[in-house]
Amino acid sequence: MEKEIKISAYRNNGAKIFTGRDKGIEAREALNLNSLDEETEVVRVLIPSDTWGINPSFFGGMFEGSIKKLGTKFTEKYQFWYSNAYELNESMKRDISDNIAYVIRNISVVQ
């Protein structure tokens, strides 16, 4: 079973990039990710297809708690797709992978 969440509402109007830790935290709370982390379903995160990138600060604000809780299972639980159901292009896949690595590095620095 899968759940879908759309993150388009957390990008500034007209922007092609998701930015800002505060916006990421807002998205996390609004989408109730703490609760989704506890559930068994895979979560499909739908990104607008015109997105150029997701800033590490936004990504961290949105997913740091999930990465801390789920560890290496994060990428099994949260799967990223364009909202038109297309698989992400290589650039967006790399961006998300880099963001996950960034969050993990910063978690280990803080602890």
Digit-coded pLDDT (tens) for 56-77: 999 999 999 999 999 999 999 9
State the SS3 of 75-102. HHHEEEEECCCCECCHHHHHHHHHHHHH
* Claim: this prediction has a pTM higher than 0.75: yes
Digit-coded pLDDT (tens) for 66-106: 999 999 999 999 999 999 888 999 999 999 999 999 999 98
Cα–chain-centroid distance for residue 63?
6
